[in-house]
């Protein structure tokens, strides 16, 4: 997202595997017509919305480790380099995709777009109703991250100024409880009454619980907590990850528990317990994946590394490219529910992501490095 890939001191192949998994399940979740699949496969695809939560945990860990490492070595953080890195990593390719959406109407997978200023200010997720402005709605997760990363470094600086950095764990736990409690308040006072009415809740849930930043902090805060453990308590981290493969299995089992809680996404259990359980389970899996004793850490794959490298661009364009494939190949007689339509959508999404990677992303990353140098 996420945003979905960041520079790290060493190559962590385990995170590449997780990032590749995240973008694959997000792609399948958003794919318009999954075709004839067994019930178990359809249930897995319906749970694909958790891919964004995995991106949040990965992003929180990588950004948190970057800032915490600087804080540990220098006793403070520098905002200018941080925001330069964020800008050149996220904004150029994002603006290119936004421009295509506004200038090429056929690119739009839905009927209407939110106002341009919402995209330019990363506030599109605020009050977003997908039934009214459904085009490029998946950019909501970028808005969550950018709003959070505008706020998070300021919290660190305030903690440094107040000499409260040793209370960082309490701060993170406080925000974690805040995001759970505010979901509880919204669900109890607004969501539940709507669900009891004939006709259901419409888009209330996605607009006021799923999309807002203040209700989706679980994953980012979990990732930041893992980063804090790695940077400030390395000995404890080594003890916890001594048997990293078992830790990974534990995370997967907890994720299954999160699936059981969140089977009905708009229900009480999902919103109050499911979201944090899913975030924590992914946090455990990330912690395992960065540990040298884990098979994910040891296993190197060109395929997952490539998918991870392209994941941000894939995320930006995957809905629109699938829409174009349905539009043009459908006219040529390719069945919308066929394997061939899915394969064409995957191929052209990857080609579009490669184009963005080498025409936009890499040149701006080189420019970023020159500025920082």
Q: How far apart are the first and last CA of the chain?
A: 26
- What tokens does 157 get? 């600086």
pLDDT for 34 equals: 64
Helix pair 339-356, 302-331: axis angle to 10 deg: 120
Closest alpha carbon to 307 in 13, 64, 9: 13
Per-10-residue mean pLDDT, the chain, length 373 = 46 92 95 72 85 97 96 93 95 97 94 93 94 92 97 94 90 96 95 74 86 97 97 95 96 96 91 97 98 94 95 97 94 89 95 98 96 91
- What tokens does 202 get? 């419409």
* pLDDT tens readout for residues 101-133: 999 999 999 878 999 999 999 999 999 998 888
φ/ψ bin of 92: left (φ > 0), alpha (ψ from -120 to 50), beta (otherwise): alpha
pLDDT for 197 equals: 72
* pLDDT tens readout for residues 270-328: 999 999 999 999 999 999 999 999 999 999 999 999 999 999 999 999 999 999 999 99
Helices (H) and strands (E) in the chain, counts: 18, 0
pLDDT for 281 equals: 98
pLDDT for 255 equals: 97
- DSSP code for 206: I
Q: In the chain, what are the domain boundaries?
A: 13-372
Which DSSP string do the residues of 42-96 spell out, in sequence order?
Answer: HHHHHTTTHHHHHHHHHHHHHHHHHHHHHHHHHSS--HHHHHHHHHHHHHHHHHH
Give φ, ψ of 219 to 5 degrees: -65, -45
Coil, strand or helix at 217: coil
Are 285 and 21 in contact, with CB atoms under 8 Å apart? Answer: no
pLDDT for 7 equals: 39
pLDDT for 2 equals: 45
Cα separation, 320 vs 106, in Å, equals 9
């Amino acid at each position: 997202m996420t945003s979905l890939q960041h520079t790290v001191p060493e190559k962590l192949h385990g995170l590449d595997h997780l990032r590749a998994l995240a973008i694959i399940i997000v792609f399948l979740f958003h794919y318009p017509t999954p075709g004839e699949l067994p019930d178990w496969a359809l249930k897995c695809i319906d749970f694909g919305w958790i891919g964004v939560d995995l991106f949040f945990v990965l992003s929180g860990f990588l950004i948190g480790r970057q800032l915490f490492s600087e804080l540990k070595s220098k006793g403070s953080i520098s905002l200018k380099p941080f925001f330069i890195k964020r800008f050149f990593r996220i904004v150029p390719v994002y603006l290119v995709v936004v421009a295509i959406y506004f200038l090429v109407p056929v690119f739009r997978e839905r009927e209407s777009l939110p106002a341009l200023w919402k995209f330019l200010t990363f506030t599109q997720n605020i009050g977003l109703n997908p039934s009214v402005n459904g085009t490029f709605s998946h950019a909501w997760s970028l808005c969550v991250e950018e709003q959070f990363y505008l706020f998070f470094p300021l919290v660190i600086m305030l903690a440094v100024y107040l000499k409260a950095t040793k209370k960082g764990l309490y701060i993170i736990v406080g925000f974690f409880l805040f995001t759970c409690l505010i979901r509880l308040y919204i669900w109890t006072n607004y969501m539940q009454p709507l669900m009891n009415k004939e006709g259901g809740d419409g888009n209330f849930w996605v607009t006021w619980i799923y999309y807002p930043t203040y209700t989706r902090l679980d994953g980012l805060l979990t990732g930041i907590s893992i980063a804090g453990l790695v940077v400030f308590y390395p000995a404890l981290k080594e003890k916890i990850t001594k048997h990293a493969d078992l830790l990974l299995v534990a995370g997967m089992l907890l994720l299954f528990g999160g699936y059981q809680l969140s089977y009905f996404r708009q229900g009480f259990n999902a919103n109050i317990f499911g979201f944090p359980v899913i975030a924590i389970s992914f946090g455990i899996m990330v912690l395992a994946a960065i540990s040298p004793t884990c098979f994910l850490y040891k296993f190197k794959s060109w395929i997952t590394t490539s998918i991870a490298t392209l994941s941000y661009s894939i995320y930006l364009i995957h809905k629109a490219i699938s829409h174009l494939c349905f539009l043009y190949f459908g006219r040529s007689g390719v069945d919308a529910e066929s394997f061939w339509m899915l394969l064409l959508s995957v191929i052209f999404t990857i080609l579009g992501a490669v184009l963005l990677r080498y025409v936009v992303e890499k040149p701006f990353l080189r420019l970023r490095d020159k500025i920082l140098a």
